[in-house]
Structure 1
């Protein structure tokens, strides 16, 4: 199984790429080194070209930013929409039958919230590319240590244990979850048989991990 991945230096990706190297031949695309045995580096705009000549079975994106860290909505959209969809297209062109994507709890192309609407639209765009199987993971707030400081996210992580006690039943999908757990679920899903769109919320993610 040959796997191509973007987002390997992020919160989920940092946990995921070592797990994937045990599953198959992994190629990481990124802007800076991740530590993976095989990677190709360059600007996001060049990532699709870096896949030319490769034969891919599974494409994986754990790439994600925030409007604040990106600096503007346009810069955020360049990462979370354009880079992800362009990579997915390149994976499909390289023969990938499966694509895995980290999205967000509450993602909905019809949402009034710009962030959640964008996430939902990206899910739609990836699903429309013709993969045999698409796995969308919609975790709640991701818990873990990032290389970059996100003040608001840090405060939310600190409050997560108390909030998780309140988020039960149908609200469980919005609870905080460890990034390592999401990574282990994605590693378990890579290469799975079956066709169609599979959406995984916190409960399913924990079961897979």
Structure 2
């Protein structure tokens, strides 16, 4: 498969791209080196242009930041909405028939929470681009060693073993989950052919990674 990917230096992405590179023809687009064999670097606004001339079967986004890390809501939206959708549109134009994206548990275009609303709106916008198959992964709190400090998530990771015992049944989707499992699940989904829109929460992600 010819796979194009953004977000390869993040918590999930840096564990995903080596899995993809073993089985597929992978092209990584990014702002800084990831270590992938085929890689094109540039500003986020340049990524659609960097993809021009490449044929794509599957496109993947593990790109994401936080409002605090970005510095403002506008800067956050530039990453989590505009960069992702511009890449998705370019991948579709390049022939992509499948798109995989890491979203968030609780994502909902009708949510009162601005973060969850944005995530839901991005999911809907990608689904409207015409891909034959869209896989949306909605993990709970991501567990793993980040390259940057996120104090809130750090506290959440420390409390995760206790919280996970309480988050059972339908609440399991909000529990902590290892980023490596999400990466493994995404690599498995690249092999899927059934058309449609599929949303995968913690329980489905663990099953895919098994």
Q: Structures share a fold, TM > 0.5?
A: yes
Once the two structures are TM-superposed, the CA of residue 191 in structure 1 deviates from its matched residue by 3.4
- Contiguous gaps of at least 5 residues in structure 1: none
Given the superposition, is the C-alpha separation of residues 191 and 94 from structure 1 closer, same or farther in structure 2, using an over 3 Å criterion? farther
Retained in 2: the 8 A contact 1:59–1:100?
yes
What is the CA–CA distance in structure 2 between the aligned matches of 1:95 and 1:29, rounded to whole Å? 17
Q: Is the 8 A contact 1:2 1:26 kept in 2?
A: yes
Which residue matches 2:9?
Answer: 9
- 1:108-145 deviation per Cα after TM superposition (whole angstroms, max 9, x unaligned): 00000000000000000000000000000000000000
Question: Are the counterparts in 2 of residues 58 and 191 from structure 1 also a CA contact under 8 Å?
Answer: no
Query: Corresponding residue for 2:130?
Result: 130
Pair 1:141-2:141 in alignment: yes
1:22 is displaced (CA, Å) by 1.2
Q: Distance in 2 between matches of 1:47 and 1:158?
A: 36
Partner of 2:20: 20
Residue in 1 that maps onto 2:58: 58
Q: Which residue of 1 aligns with 2:46?
A: 46
Which ranges of structure 2 fall in alignment gaps of 5 or more residues? Answer: none
Verify the 8 A CA contact 1:160 1:176 in the aligned structure 2: yes
Partner of 2:157: 157
Q: Secondary structure at the match of 1:139?
A: coil
Residue aligning to 2:173? 173
CA distance, structure 2, for counterparts of residue 48 and residue 161 of structure 1: 41
Aligned length: 209
> 4+ residue runs of structure 1 moved beyond 2 angstroms?
none
